[in-house]
Each structure stands twice: as C-alpha cells, then as structure tokens.
Amino acid sequence: MKFDVQIFDALDSTNTTLREQFSGEAEGYVVQAYQQTKGRGRFGNSWSSPKGNLYISILLKPDCPYDQIGQLAFVAATSIASYLQQTFDSDDVNVAVKWPNDILVNGNKIGGILIETNSLNPSRVDQVIVGIGLNVFAQQADYIKMDDFTDRLGNLDAVRDDLLQSFGEHYTKWREMGFSDILREWKKYAVGIGEKVGVRLSNEHFYGIFVDVDDTGNLILDQDGDRRLISAGEINLGK
C-alpha cells in the first residue's frame, strides 16, 4: 500500500482537516500535524497534542459493508502493537491492546485511535478516516511515551514511516484475507480476557466477565450467566 503524506506544522485536528479538505484524495492519503490545537479523542474527549508526538489521519476507501468498519479498529490497534513490539524488542517492555483499540505499554496508555466515517453510501462504506495519536517524545502528565522504552528511536518522520508500513501490511491482509487473521493477532496482545471488567457505553456503565471477542469483533460479556454482546464502548480493567 502506498501512502501520500501531507505534513502541517499545526492543525486543529488532523481528522477534521482530512475530512473537510482532502476526502476526495485517493486511499492512502495521510494528513500529519506536528501539533494539534483541538485534537479529538473518543467519546468527545480532547487529545492533548504538544509538539514531539505523532498525530496522523489516514484516508481509506475500503468499500466494505457498514458493519465491518469496527474491524478497522482492530486492524489499526494490531498494526501499532506489532510496530511497537518490534521497535522495543525487549522482554521488559510489555505491549498490549485493550478492547477495542487502546494501546498499552507496561499497563499504561501510549496511544489512541479515532475512526470516523462520513460515507455518503449507507450500505457500502466508501470512506473512513483512521486517526492515530502516539506518544513518542513529548512528556504529558500521567502518560508514557516511546522514548521511555528505547534509545534507538529515529526522528518522528521515521517513526511515522515505520508505523505506516505496519498499518499498510495489516490493512492489506484484512482486505485480502478478511478479519480472522487480524483478530487472531490482536488476541495475542489482548488484556482482560477472562477477567472482570467495567464497561462504559455513552449512557451506561456496568460490570461483567470479559469472556472473549466474537468473530466480528464484539466483546462477549457474561453478567451472572447472561451473555451480552458489546459492539462499541470502553472497558476498564480491575484497577
């Protein structure tokens, strides 16, 4: 997969700029900003975006059914985890994913993914924006960064290129082979399976045992013997 990266010194949000100004570009178009003034996270949270970290948005044109968009969260998370694992290459550094797409290193969040679509076609998705924020060099309160775990990092552009290469490999695998290989690789990094978790949806919070992820990416939750399928939300592990 080829990427065409457009770099800006500062933007409000790379996802917003890509959607508003560049959605007519070809698949693989990437908007990068060295800092964001209104970086956005999931659930309407803001994403603090000082200089020194990676902020990119990737334009995809997957032409897939609408209910497969969620799988791209697993594609992106697995590609980032695999890139970090290779980069750190150390038994002391544990890279993990928390359903569906938080990236953890030694139990702390190091990056996040915001997937958005404004596809004009209700049955087939012709356009998806995958926004990735990854803490590389800049210290932020309560957060960790890649630079804490290796002294072999190149500059931010090299980090971006290596990450995009991993993303391209995983996205191509998903398009050509479907979801099962991606999900299998994602599960190798997954935390919380078999444990009690809290689940936060936009308007409710509840607990249950995280039994597994089904073959479409839904979280299977056991609540006192009743199974509930969760397609979107956030989980908290017991800490």
Regarding 221 and contact with ligand BTN (CB under 6 A), the answer is no
Question: Rounded to whole angstroms, how far apart are CA atoms 206 and 143?
Answer: 26
Regarding 13 and contact with ligand BTN (CB under 6 A), the answer is yes
Place of tokens 């994403």: 47
Regarding 45 and contact with ligand BTN (CB under 6 A), the answer is yes
Question: Rounded to whole angstroms, how far apart are CA atoms 207 and 209?
Answer: 7
| CA-based R_g, the chain, Å | 17
The residue sitting closest to ligand BTN, measured at its beta carbon, is 112
User: 109 vs 175, which CB is nearer to ligand BTN?
Assistant: 109
Tokens of 158: 């090299």
Options 12-20, 77-85, 174-182, 194-202: segment touching ligand BTN (CB under 6 A): 12-20
| Residues, the chain | 239
DSSP symbols for 165-207: HHHHHHHHHHHHH-SHHHHHHHHHHB--TTSEEEEE-SS-EEE
- Using CB under 6 A as the binding rule, the residues of this chain from 113 to 132 that contact ligand BTN are 113-114, 131-132
Q: Contacting ligand BTN (CB under 6 A), which of 23, 41, 68, 153?
A: 41
Question: Rounded to whole angstroms, how far apart are CA atoms 30 and 28?
Answer: 6
Q: Contacting ligand BTN (CB under 6 A), which of 19, 29, 30, 40?
A: 40
Place of tokens 């971006």: 160
User: 56 vs 125, which CB is nearer to ligand BTN?
Assistant: 56
**One character per residue 160-189, x = contact with ligand BTN (rule: CB under 6 A):** ------------------------------
User: 11 vs 183, which CB is nearer to ligand BTN?
Assistant: 11
Regarding 15 and contact with ligand BTN (CB under 6 A), the answer is yes
Regarding 112 and contact with ligand BTN (CB under 6 A), the answer is yes
C-beta atoms surrounding 220 within 10 Å:
16
Nearest 5 degrees, angle CA 33-CA 136-CA 15? 30
Instruction: List contacts with ligand BTN (CB under 6 A).
Output: 13-15, 36, 39-42, 45, 47, 55-57, 112-114, 131-133
